[in-house]
Structure 1
Amino acid sequence: MTHEVRGVVARSKKAPVSLETILVPDPGPGEALVKVQACGVCHTDLHYREGGINDAFPFLLGHEAAGVVEAVGEGVDEVAPGDYVILNWRAVCGQCRACKRGRPQYCFSTRNATQKMTLADGTELEPALGIGAFAEKTLVAAGQCTKVDPSAAPTAAGLLGCGVMAGLGAAINTGNVGRGDSVAVIGCGGVGNAAIAGARLAGAAKIIAVDVEERKLNWAKGFGATHTVNSRQTDPVEAIRELTGGFGADVVIDAVGRPQTYEQAFYARDLAGTVVLVGVPTPEMKLELPLLDVFGRGGALKSSWYGDCLPSRDFPMLIDLYQQGRLDLDAFVTETIKLDEVEKAFEKMHDGDVLRSVVVL
């Protein structure tokens, strides 16, 4: 049986997205059909539309999603019809060298659905991050479904599927922020504010938010920033050092992903401190640092891919914290929208007017 649904498609580079009829097959072996309830509008979706990921158009966009499993294919025992799930793009294989070494959060061979969703004319679609959740239903690998408490609001829960998890994990998993640490976060959009929330959860004593917009710095205070720095007005490296006794922060998280912000992060950390890059650079960007400084300052320079998360471990734990009132996922939701409003949401995102627009189906 084929399911006919509506979905948001990017047909060509930099062209406005369109609402199209999508044909979704019944799940085959190892697959799950999910009825999507909510899906966040992430910068990665905009990167797909702009051709910044690859040129495998047309794309079925959307990946920060929560919903209910409608059907499963042969051999699936992770989830069952009726399960409330968050979709993830790290369905661990269990067989690659990372998994076999007990590091599934670095799985090098994550799984996606084998069958393709198509347009009405049979054109195969490339689902964003193997998910494609700006649609009423989507087909994924069963391992991409993480079962969580069904009482959690889908508008909030779905955000753990990408950006919020990336920021939280950059602080907690990659940066290994500990009690009493000083942390600086450069860039206070959705990912950066999630990193701030993660640093607060981890018990950081001082959390310094850096951005060029006062509006975003005000958002950061709500997520746990103890100090703010407007880097349009003040040298952020000097400001972070001043706020940390002249030494620099224990952990500095670059949630922007540009050579300038990475250099700021590098020099704003304490000796033997940690730099975490979680902002996504573009292919043409280059970084130049004196090798002697890299050697002489010690510490660690890390990149955080999906917040180094393990969905089966992290999603239920974070939902529990949300349910306890210790992690305010609702605060990331600036607005809820309909499927046909995704293009407008991209414009608001580009202008910095929202933390997250969330499509509700």
Structure 2
Amino acid sequence: RLDWAKKMGATVTINPKKENVQERITELTNGRGVDIAIDITGRYGGFDLATKMIKIGRGKILIPSYYGQPETVDLGTELMLKSPIIHSTHPAYSRDYLYDMVTGLWATAKGVFPIEDLITHRFKLNEINKAFEVLSTNPSGYIKGIVTMD
């Protein structure tokens, strides 16, 4: 995934298995924090980390993830001091869903958003159970999988 991020233009990548993400962000931003954090972990720990990495004073946290299991996290201090703006990026959040969908399709067709580079696994409809198994194990190199109606 880090290689994919570099391919897509990331100038800095952080491997959380090798580096302390919060310390590295503090270093990269000279202690200021990021303007926008995107939590795609699907775990409350990722959301907690996002609140710690954003700047003081209305940094944004985008959440395209679904948090499947309830957890307890301590966000009081971060919420009080930083006053983050938290956005769900679910389609229902859109003010003009049709416009956003058409824009997204146009960007994909023009290569602005390289959706094909995101798709690392393809499954036929009769392999849907296998698709869910692969998704749940999150193998190395897995970014997104699709099920086709072939």
Global fold match (TM > 0.5): yes
Match of 2:37 in 1: 252
CA gap of 1:298–1:284, structure 2 versus 1, over 3 A, is closer
CA gap of 1:262–1:221, structure 2 versus 1, over 3 A, is same
CA gap of 1:315–1:268, structure 2 versus 1, over 3 A, is same
Match of 1:342 in 2: 128
Confirm whether residue 315 of structure 1 aligns to residue 101 of structure 2.
yes
The answer to whether the Cα contact below 8 Å between 1:333 and 1:358 also exists between their aligned partners in 2 is no
Match of 1:217 in 2: 2
* Amino acid aligned to 1:333: I
* CA distance in 2 between partners of 1:306 and 1:287 (Å): 26
Q: How does 1:116-195 map to 2 (within 5 A)?
A: none
* CA distance in 1 between partners of 2:5 and 2:145 (Å): 14
* CA distance in 2 between partners of 1:293 and 1:284 (Å): 20
User: Equivalent of 2:52, from 262, 267, 274?
Assistant: 267
- State the shift of 1:233 in Å: 1.7
Confirm whether residue 232 of structure 1 aligns to residue 17 of structure 2.
yes
CA gap of 1:257–1:229, structure 2 versus 1, over 3 A, is same
Structure with the greater alpha carbon radius of gyration: 1
Match of 1:297 in 2: 82
The answer to whether the Cα contact below 8 Å between 1:278 and 1:307 also exists between their aligned partners in 2 is no
* CA distance in 2 between partners of 1:293 and 1:323 (Å): 40
Match of 2:147 in 1: 358
* CA distance in 2 between partners of 1:230 and 1:307 (Å): 32
Gapped regions of structure 1 (runs ≥ 5): 1-215
| Larger RCO, structure (CA 8 Å, separation 6 or more) | 1
* Amino acid aligned to 1:298: S
Gapped regions of structure 2 (runs ≥ 5): none
Match of 1:125 in 2: none
**Number of matched residues?**
145
Instruction: Deviation per CA, 1:197-256: give whole Å up to 9, x if none.
Output: xxxxxxxxxxxxxxxxxxx22222233322111112211111112122221110011111
* CA distance in 1 between partners of 2:103 and 2:25 (Å): 32
* CA distance in 2 between partners of 1:229 and 1:312 (Å): 35
* CA distance in 1 between partners of 2:20 and 2:43 (Å): 16
- State the shift of 1:312 in Å: 1.0
When the two chains are superposed, the root-mean-square deviation of aligned CA atoms in Å is 2.1
- State the shift of 1:307 in Å: 7.1
% same residue: 25
Structure with the higher fraction of residues in helix conformation: 2
CA gap of 1:333–1:358, structure 2 versus 1, over 3 A, is farther
Q: TM-score, normalised by structure 1?
A: 0.37
* CA distance in 2 between partners of 1:337 and 1:317 (Å): 27
Instruction: Deviation per CA, 1:60-93: give whole Å up to 9, x if none.
Output: xxxxxxxxxxxxxxxxxxxxxxxxxxxxxxxxxx
CA gap of 1:338–1:267, structure 2 versus 1, over 3 A, is same
Structure with the higher fraction of residues in strand conformation: 1
The answer to whether the Cα contact below 8 Å between 1:256 and 1:278 also exists between their aligned partners in 2 is no
Instruction: Deviation per CA, 1:170-192: give whole Å up to 9, x if none.
Output: xxxxxxxxxxxxxxxxxxxxxxx
The answer to whether the Cα contact below 8 Å between 1:253 and 1:275 also exists between their aligned partners in 2 is yes
The answer to whether the Cα contact below 8 Å between 2:43 and 2:67 also exists between their aligned partners in 1 is yes
* CA distance in 1 between partners of 2:137 and 2:30 (Å): 35
Confirm whether residue 287 of structure 1 aligns to residue 73 of structure 2.
yes
What secondary structure, in the 3-state scheme, does the structure 2 residue paired with 1:340 have? helix
* CA distance in 2 between partners of 1:257 and 1:311 (Å): 24
